Amino acid sequence: MNALSMLDRKLVRDLVRLWAQSLAVALVMACGVMTLILALGATRALEDTRAAFYDRTRFGHVFATAIRAPESLGTKIAAIDGVAAVATRIVHPVIIDIDGMAEPATGQLISIPDHGEAAVNRLYLRSGRLPEPGRPDEVTVIEAFAEAHGFRSGDSFAALINGRKRQLRITGVTLSPEHVYAIGPGDIVPDQKRYGVVHMRRTTLDGAYDMQSAFNSVSLTLSRHANKKQVMARLDAILKPYGGVAAHDRSDHPSDAFLDAELVQLKAMAQVIPPIFLFISAFLVNMILSRLIALEREQIGLLKAVGYSNSGIAWHYAKLTLVISVAGVIIGAVAGTRLGHGMASLYSEFFSFPFLVFSQRPDLYVIATLVTFAAALAGAANAIRGAVRLPPAVAMRPPAPTRYRSLFGGADSGFRPLFSHLTVMALRHLVRWPVRTALTTLGTALPVALLITSLFAFDSIDSMIDTVWFRADRQDATLTFAASQSEDAIRSVAHLPGVIAAEPFRAEAATLRHGHLSRQVQIIGTDPHTDISRVLDRDFRPVRLPPNGLLLSERLASHLDLRPGDAVEVELRNGQERRVLVPLVGVTNSYIGLNANMSRGALDRLSGQAARISGARVIIDDNRTEDLYDAVKQTPAIASVALQGVSREKFRAMIEENIGISVTVYVSLAIIITVGVIYNSARIQLSERARELASLRVFGFTNGEVSRVLLTELGVMVVLAQPLGWLIGRGFSELVATGFESDLFRIPLVITPPTYALSSLVVLGAALVSALIVRRRIDRLDLIRVLKTRD
C-alpha cells in the first residue's frame, strides 16, 4: 500500500467499508454485461457460423420448383444475367418405415449429381461416403435423423418410393445448408426422429420417379451484383410452362427463416435486457456516491483547503465508480462466457452446423466494458458534480438541516388516527426525495416486469396449444396424397384401420396480389361444415366457411394491406395463368404460418377443374393407431403424414425445457436486481437516518418500532412497485410477443393472474430478505456515538 497516494488509500478503505453495497451494484452490472455478451456472442456465433457454412456449401440464393421441366432448361437458366451456378434436381416427399418405430416418418428424397459435387447446396459429409453411382439402394441421411435413430454407415431402413417399398442402405451421414433447421411438413418444432432428409444419386431418382432428362426443383447462386428480382422473374417465365411455382429467395427458405427468427429474438434480447441492468446500476451508483459525498463534505472541504484540485477530487470518486464497474465487468464476462458456451451447445441441438463456436472476440468484451463504464459514470456524474461544486468553506460547515413539509398541505397531521408519527416520518421522508423514491420504485418494478416478461411465455404457449390443437387443428393426423385425388378418396381414407372420422381438404399453391403487394401462399379449401379442423375468427370462434370468398389470417391480410370487403387477385399456380378477383370475406386468427382459407367448393370453381382433394384430416382411435400407421406405410397414394398429437407433445416438451432454463435465469436476475436496489436503498436510508433512529431508541422506542420507520418506507416503495411492474411487464411482454412474430409463427399475449402474483412474490421475497439484513443493523446502532456527533 506504500506505493498508493493518500487519496488512493482512502479509496481502498472506502471500498472495504462499502463492500456489501459495492458488491450488490457490481452484481447488477455483471448481469448487464453477462446478458450483453450472451446475446451479442450468440448472435455472432449464429451469424458467423451460418455465413461460413453457407459459403462453404454454396447455399442457393434462389429456389424454384416445377412439375416436370426438361433438363435442357438448365442451360437456359444458367444464361440468365446474374446467375453464377445452377443445380437442377429431383425432390420428392417420402414415407419412411423404420424398424421398431410404429409411427411412419416422413422425409424428403433429394437427388445429388451422379458425378462430383452439386454446384449449389453441397452436402457436408460428416462420416462415411456419398452413394456410388449405379448402386440404387445407397443413400446418405442428414445427421439429426441419423443421430435420432442411432444410424451409422451400413445400416438400412425402408422407404415408400413412388408406391414401392424399397430397402435403402446408408453410406454416409451429411449436413446440408438447406436443413440446418430441419422441420417436417405440418410440424412447428423439429422432430428429428420423424423427419429425415435422404440424398440419392440422380440416376436412381430419375428411374424411381420416371424423371429421365427432367427435373422438378432448381437452385441458383447469384453473382455479386446480380439483380435478384429480375433473375427470379426470368426464372418464373422459363419454368411457367412446366408447372413452375414462383421462385423464392433464401429468406423464404424454411430452414433459413427459422434461423433468422432466432437471430431476431437474440437481437431483441440484446436491445432490451442489458439496458435495464445498466440503467439500474447507474441509479445505484448515483445513490451510493451521493450519500458518500454527503458524508464526506467536510473531508472534501479539507482536501480543497489544502490544495487538492477539483479534477483530482472528481477523479477520486470516478475511480471508486470504475473499480466497482471493473468488478462488475469481470464477474459478468466470466458468467457470460460460461453461459455462452452453454447456449452454443443448446443451439447445436437445434441447428445442424458442422461447428458452432461461441464468439469470444475481444471487441465483444471491449464493447461490454465501455458500455458499463459509461453507464456507471453517467450515474456518478451528478454526485461528482456536487462534490466539485462544494466551495471549501461551505464544505467544512455542516449542511443546512433538511427541510420537510407536511403532506396534503398539512392535512397529514389530521390523519392521526390513521398514521402513527413513526409512519408520518416515513411518508414525509419519501416525499422529501421524490426523484429517489420514484427511481427506487422503478428499480423494484423492473425485476417484476422482467419476471412477467419471461413467465408470460408459459401462459401464452398454453393458450397457443389450446387454440392450435384443441380449437383449430383438432385432428390426430393429416394425410397428404402424393397427387390430388377425386373426392371418392375420402371414403378410402375413412376406411383405413383406426380412422374414426376424416375430413377432406384441397390445397392449392397460389399467388395473392393486392396493388403492388403480393404473397405466395397455399389456399386450403375445406367443407363449410368441417368440424375436425376449424378456422377461427379473431375472437377464436369457429367460422363457417362462406360459399364464396377468401379468409386470410390477420398477418397475411396486413401484409397485403387488405380489409374485409376488399378484392384480392388470386392466381393459382396450376399452369392455367388465370387471375381471378376474389372478395376478402373475413380475417382469421392463426398462430402458425400465413393462412388462406376458402370453402372447398369455391376453390374447386376457382381452379376451373373438377373437385379434387389433396389429403385428409383424421381422428384416430387411440387403440388402433399402430394399425393405421401400418396401413399408411403400405399406401402408395399417401405421400406424407403429419401427426399432430405427437407434434403437440414434442412442442410442449421443447418449450418447457427452454422456458425452464430461461425462468431459472430470469428469476436469478430479478433477485439480483431487487437485492441490489432494496439493500442499497435501505443502507442509505439507514446511513442518513442513523441519528434519528438512534434518538428514537434513546427515547425508549423498541428495535421493532424503530425498524418500522425504515421498513414502512421500503414497504411503500415495494408495494407501489408492484402495479407499476405489472404495467411495464405487460408492455415488455407485448414487445417480446411482437418481436417473436414472423411469417412462420407468432405467440399470443396472454398473462394470467398467477404470473403476476408469482412475479410479485419473488420480488417481495427478495426485498424482504434484503430489508431484514439491513434491519439487523438497527439492532446494532451505537446509541452513544451517533448522539455525540452532528449530522
Q: Give the closest residue to 604 by CA, choosing from 543, 564, 545.
A: 545
Instruction: Give me the sheet containing 83-89, strands edge to edge.
Output: 83-89, 214-222, 62-70, 245-249
**Which ranges of 351-432 would DSSP assign to H, the alpha helix?**
362-389, 392-395, 421-432
Of the two residues 50 and 429, which places its CB atom closer to other proteins in the complex? 429
Of the two residues 412 and 473, which places its CB atom closer to other proteins in the complex? 412
The residue within the footprint of other proteins, chosen from 58, 179, 297, 429 (CB under 8 A), is: 429
Which residues 6+ apart lie within 8 Å of 583 measured at CB?
548, 549, 550, 565, 566, 567, 568
For 259-287, the DSSP string reads HHHHHHHHHHHHHHHHHHHHHHHHHHHHH
Residues 160, 94: Cα–Cα separation, whole Å: 6
Q: 520: helix, coil or strand?
A: strand
C-alpha cell at 586: 373475413
Instruction: Establish if 414 lies at the interface with other proteins (CB under 8 A).
Output: no
Of the two residues 698 and 757, which places its CB atom closer to other proteins in the complex? 698
Instruction: Establish if 698 lies at the interface with other proteins (CB under 8 A).
Output: yes
Residues 506, 486: Cα–Cα separation, whole Å: 10
The residue within the footprint of other proteins, chosen from 402, 558, 576, 609 (CB under 8 A), is: 402
Helix pair angle (254-295, 644-698), 10° resolution = 0
Q: Among 133-141, 422-430, 505-513, 517-525, which window interacts with other proteins (CB under 8 A)?
A: 422-430
Please give the single-letter amino acid code of residue 582: V
Length reported for the chain: 791
Of the two residues 115 and 790, which places its CB atom closer to other proteins in the complex? 790
Q: What is the separation of C-alpha 245 from the centre of its chain, rounded to a whole number of angstroms?
A: 32
Of the two residues 310 and 420, which places its CB atom closer to other proteins in the complex? 420
Which residues 6+ apart lie within 8 Å of 262 measured at CB?
46, 347, 351
Size of the residue set binding other proteins (CB under 8 A) = 34
Closest contact distance (angstroms) between CB of 418 and other proteins is: 13
The residue within the footprint of other proteins, chosen from 697, 708, 746, 775 (CB under 8 A), is: 697
C-alpha cell at 553: 389470417
Of the two residues 162 and 695, which places its CB atom closer to other proteins in the complex? 695
Residues 165, 99: Cα–Cα separation, whole Å: 13
Instruction: Establish if 425 lies at the interface with other proteins (CB under 8 A).
Output: yes
C-alpha cell at 642: 403429419
Strand partners, 161: 164
Of the two residues 382 and 413, which places its CB atom closer to other proteins in the complex? 413
Q: Among 359-367, 558-566, 594-602, 692-700, which window interacts with other proteins (CB under 8 A)?
A: 692-700
Instruction: Establish if 483 lies at the interface with other proteins (CB under 8 A).
Output: no
Of the two residues 397 and 421, which places its CB atom closer to other proteins in the complex? 421
Q: How many CB atoms lie within 10 A of CB 524?
A: 19
Q: Among 250-258, 363-371, 415-423, 542-550, which window interacts with other proteins (CB under 8 A)?
A: 415-423
Q: Among 95-103, 256-264, 312-320, 700-708, which window interacts with other proteins (CB under 8 A)?
A: 700-708
Instruction: Establish if 428 lies at the interface with other proteins (CB under 8 A).
Output: yes
The residue within the footprint of other proteins, chosen from 56, 229, 432, 544 (CB under 8 A), is: 432
**Which ranges of 58-183 would DSSP assign to H, the alpha helix?**
73-78, 143-149
Instruction: Establish if 422 lies at the interface with other proteins (CB under 8 A).
Output: yes
**Window 101-130: contact mask with other proteins (x via CB under 8 A):** ------------------------------
Of the two residues 389 and 421, which places its CB atom closer to other proteins in the complex? 421
Instruction: Establish if 400 lies at the interface with other proteins (CB under 8 A).
Output: yes
The residue within the footprint of other proteins, chosen from 167, 609, 662, 702 (CB under 8 A), is: 702
C-alpha cell at 755: 404470473
Report CA dihedral (762, 765, 769, 775) to the nearest 10 degrees. Answer: 140
The residue within the footprint of other proteins, chosen from 492, 520, 658, 695 (CB under 8 A), is: 695
The residue within the footprint of other proteins, chosen from 692, 734, 741, 743 (CB under 8 A), is: 692
Instruction: Establish if 413 lies at the interface with other proteins (CB under 8 A).
Output: yes
Q: Give the closest residue to 336 by CA, choosing from 679, 45, 51.
A: 45
Residues 69, 73: Cα–Cα separation, whole Å: 7
**Window 731-770: contact mask with other proteins (x via CB under 8 A):** ----------------------------------------
Interface positions with other proteins (CB under 8 A): 400-406, 410, 413, 420-422, 424-425, 428-429, 432, 691-692, 695-703, 783-784, 787-788, 790-791
